[in-house]
Chains A and B, each alone.
Chain A
């Protein structure tokens, strides 16, 4: 499907080098199918700029310590589509962003062409399913146990293991479309899952999960 006009994209990242670098890189690579129309170090600042854009490339750990879920929700409310653009963030932050309804995940280190493809897909309204995204969901064992049926779990497990959709379909003797439907449903159900918040509290919980800090009862 062709895009009639360039996809207007903004970057939210606290590193200026990344913002400038990506702007320049996209300028070189996209034949104007994607244009960067703005950038900001935080979501709050972006929203205050009143930019007219289709897609936001959102870094997960911003300098203001904001929660990825809040950020994604605020951006979706403002009418943007959100593509997570991260390095190797804490997996729980990735889950926060997914719970907030992010449309896709891409990595800063991946080839620029792949990023462009993700931006275009998100702009068209597709949910960009990726192995990384579904692996992040699979790792949330509490969610998998509570919310997914046996078939959904099978599909998720194979896809997270790296199998492509046709391979998953062949392995389970179902159609590729059913596999896609399963994956989309799993992704959709994950939105609004209340994963632990980011920032200081999240770090503290993470420390408890990792066995560094013993849990304490709250003071009454």
Chain B
């Protein structure tokens, strides 16, 4: 698919409709399938029902069951249909005694029983988890109630309770599964949103590339060209050069706030940004994130303004304080609906009396405070002579943006929760079995079978720290289930329908589904086959007919099939989800890196403006005549920008200043950065210190500092050649150790 986004399209289909379509089709199949046993059961009941009731309720159930596939197929508003189905079934249950015409006692159980479970499931599709569970409860109680009326077979309380319990437990369990599924769909939606964010990221990166190109272009093409042209110009005023300077000035003072469009940043990203900024200004400063709050999000505007304020405060410490240590602590908080950042820049320098601040430092204080005010923050300066100084920048903002990251697929199929569900269902069946102890010929085999059932459940749920179950364990479960079935069948009374004495069929179903979930598909279906065989043998031996076989097998096989379908859907979605997550994480990583570069550039551009704007104004001024000294300054400025573009590893603000001064004294300083990456911190630290000392102590001659390509024994070499003397080569290795060689 050339020209199309490779990530988002197919997955969006999977989430919003794909899995729902799977589910809808599975429900449709179940609704239609449940018509068959309902017809079986209802065969001798239809005559006794009021034709109008039969037409309205029965007709609606059949009509809706037949309409469902159409909606599921055409992806129409399926939930409306599902809600209607649930509503009709509930009305049918409640009005059943009125629909039952004659005063006869119903010889069986009302056929609508077959539809109640599915209806509960449908109600959950239409209204969610809570509606589904309430529906299951109300419908099962209502059914228990009518079961005790003549129309419902005048069942005893215990039989009615058995029916109610069965109707409550199984559908409720499935509704909880459905809830997992909707959590999964939500997670997928979040992932799709994330993949959308990935597209946004890509767009941002594109914008960043363009921005870099634009900035490099401005510096190179306009500012540096102007400075060179001015330095070369022989006449006092050259209109061409003045034109260049005016254009460069206009571009530099262009829109300052380009960065606000981007996504907000976390405290950790912000700290990284501060690190970058501070390092370029003051080599001895240490930046720490003293308190993090993962929920904090700061807009890029705030981040870049804070960054500039930090830069200014650190620069101030570097220039005026004579400090031996500068510490920058970043603390993030996000509580009570506001997020906040506090940044402290503390130095151990000479300090000053805030009451008698020198003019230069007052200016910095004022500009710091003004800068902070533009984003609704504040700056406080505390200092005393000889006691260092401490600048506190604080910002409080509106509510932190919650990150929509979901806990992942495992949260949707939590092993422990799944375990509880299985245990709950098995326990309920065992309880139902107890209530039917009067139906069997001997109690002890039933009780032993129940112990076997518990053992089978324990084995099926063993080792849930892994998703899959081992083959021996799965086969063991199969053996235990077969034993349990044989034990139960051995005490069922021959020739009569044993009622809830067949509780074991539900246990078989639940545990076979467990095997399916735990990736033992073939074993699960083999178990279904074995169980079918056992049921058929039991029915034939006991002289029972097809109806009884269907009644025992129907539920087990139907739910097993349904679970199999749902699991298949979940598996394919899970695979894609995992792939998508990885892609999203990677793109987020890139975003973090690119973001800091972007904001850093903005800070850097402001820096450049401060450096070159005064000189550019002079060049652009038609009334101004450039002196030779100003031409020299133009060259020095050009060299400074060149170093900034080409030798980022070798300069800080302090080193830049020193080099500028040295060049003005006539020292030839060359910086070469052949390293493809950032210098390790100790190397950079040692380099900047050495370079600054060397540059400051040289009055002529030549200095060449070079960052070697990665993998060289010495990371940085600094060559200094004094006039009339030999040269000295300072080498700094990858650990920051310094060695000197005189040549």
Cα distance, A132 to B674, chains bound together (Å): 11
Chain B residues with CB under 8 Å of A203's CB are 209, 213
Cα distance, A20 to B220, chains bound together (Å): 19
Q: Tell me the residues in window 1-56 of chain A with beta carbons closer than 8 Å to chain B beta carbons.
A: 15-18, 20-22, 24-25, 28
**Is the C-beta of A188 less than 8 angstroms from some C-beta in chain B?**
no
Chain B residues with CB under 8 Å of A18's CB are 225, 228-229, 232
Chain B residues with CB under 8 Å of A117's CB are none
**Is the C-beta of A146 less than 8 angstroms from some C-beta in chain B?**
no
**Is the C-beta of A79 less than 8 angstroms from some C-beta in chain B?**
no
Chain B residues with CB under 8 Å of A160's CB are 672, 674, 706
**Is the C-beta of B590 less than 8 angstroms from some C-beta in chain A?**
yes
For the complex, would chain B's binding face be called helix, strand, loop or mixed by DSSP majority? helix
Cα distance, A79 to B646, chains bound together (Å): 32
**Is the C-beta of B238 less than 8 angstroms from some C-beta in chain A?**
yes
Q: Are B209 and A207 in contact (CB under 8 A)?
A: yes
Chain A residues with CB under 8 Å of B216's CB are 90
Which stretch in B89-97, B158-166, B239-247, B547-555 binds the other chain? B239-247
Q: Are B244 and A219 in contact (CB under 8 A)?
A: no
Q: Are B224 and A87 in contact (CB under 8 A)?
A: yes
**Is the C-beta of B729 less than 8 angstroms from some C-beta in chain A?**
yes
**Given A131-B670, A212-B212, A17:B238 Cβ within 8 A:** yes
Chain A residues with CB under 8 Å of B590's CB are 211-212, 214
Chain A residues with CB under 8 Å of B704's CB are 131, 161-162
Q: Are A141 and B635 in contact (CB under 8 A)?
A: no
Q: What are the interface flags for A78-94 relative to B under an 8 Å C-beta threshold, 1 for contact and 0 otherwise?
A: 00000000011111000
Cα distance, A108 to B641, chains bound together (Å): 14
**Is the C-beta of A170 less than 8 angstroms from some C-beta in chain B?**
yes
Q: Are A162 and B220 in contact (CB under 8 A)?
A: no
**Is the C-beta of A167 less than 8 angstroms from some C-beta in chain B?**
yes
Chain A residues with CB under 8 Å of B594's CB are 212
Q: Tell me the residues in window 211-238 of chain B with beta carbons closer than 8 Å to chain A beta carbons.
A: 212-213, 216, 220-221, 224-229, 231-235, 238
**Is the C-beta of A126 less than 8 angstroms from some C-beta in chain B?**
no
The interface size of chain A toward B, counting residues with CB under 8 Å, comes to 43
**Is the C-beta of B536 less than 8 angstroms from some C-beta in chain A?**
no
Cα distance, A145 to B676, chains bound together (Å): 15
**Given A91-B646, A131-B704, A163-B727, A17:B244 Cβ within 8 A:** yes
Chain B residues with CB under 8 Å of A121's CB are none
**Given A87-B220, A88-B220, A109-B642, A21:B709 Cβ within 8 A:** no
Q: Are A162 and B709 in contact (CB under 8 A)?
A: no
Chain A residues with CB under 8 Å of B672's CB are 131-132, 135, 139, 160, 162
Q: Are A162 and B670 in contact (CB under 8 A)?
A: yes
Most buried by B among A17, A87, A144, A214: A17
Chain A residues with CB under 8 Å of B233's CB are 17, 21, 24
The interface size of chain B toward A, counting residues with CB under 8 Å, comes to 57
Chain A residues with CB under 8 Å of B674's CB are 135, 138-139, 160
Q: Are A22 and B645 in contact (CB under 8 A)?
A: no
Cα distance, A220 to B642, chains bound together (Å): 41
Chain B residues with CB under 8 Å of A167's CB are 727, 743
**Given A21-B229, A160-B674, A135:B706 Cβ within 8 A:** yes
**Is the C-beta of A157 less than 8 angstroms from some C-beta in chain B?**
yes
Chain B residues with CB under 8 Å of A204's CB are 209
**Is the C-beta of A71 less than 8 angstroms from some C-beta in chain B?**
no
Q: What are the interface flags for A162-199 relative to B under an 8 Å C-beta threshold, 1 for contact and 0 otherwise?
A: 11000100110000000000000000000000000000
- In the assembled complex, how far is the CB of residue A199 from the closest CB belonging to chain B, in whole angstroms? 11
Q: Are B719 and A141 in contact (CB under 8 A)?
A: no
**Is the C-beta of A61 less than 8 angstroms from some C-beta in chain B?**
yes
Q: What are the interface flags for B626-669 relative to A under an 8 Å C-beta threshold, 1 for contact and 0 otherwise?
A: 00000000010011011001100000000000000000000000
Who on chain A is nearest to B222 by CB?
A15
**Is the C-beta of B205 less than 8 angstroms from some C-beta in chain A?**
yes
Who on chain B is nearest to A24 by CB?
B234
Chain A residues with CB under 8 Å of B586's CB are 214
Chain B residues with CB under 8 Å of A74's CB are none
**Is the C-beta of A112 less than 8 angstroms from some C-beta in chain B?**
yes
**Is the C-beta of B142 less than 8 angstroms from some C-beta in chain A?**
no
**Given A17-B244, A162-B704, A212-B594, A108:B208 Cβ within 8 A:** no
**Is the C-beta of B597 less than 8 angstroms from some C-beta in chain A?**
yes
**Is the C-beta of A213 less than 8 angstroms from some C-beta in chain B?**
yes
Who on chain A is nearest to B717 by CB?
A161
Chain B residues with CB under 8 Å of A112's CB are 232
**Is the C-beta of B358 less than 8 angstroms from some C-beta in chain A?**
no
Cα distance, A20 to B206, chains bound together (Å): 37
Q: A-side interface residues toward B, CB under 8 Å?
A: 15-18, 20-22, 24-25, 28, 61, 87-91, 108-109, 112, 131-132, 135, 138-139, 141, 144, 157, 160-163, 167, 170-171, 203-204, 207, 209, 211-214, 219
User: Which 6 pairs from chain A and chain B are nearest by CB?
Assistant: A162-B704, A139-B674, A17-B240, A162-B719, A88-B642, A161-B717
Q: B-side interface residues toward A, CB under 8 Å?
A: 2, 205-206, 208-209, 212-213, 216, 220-221, 224-229, 231-235, 238, 240-241, 243-244, 586-587, 590, 593-594, 597, 635, 638-639, 641-642, 645-646, 670, 672, 674, 676, 702, 704, 706, 708-712, 717, 719, 721, 727, 729, 743
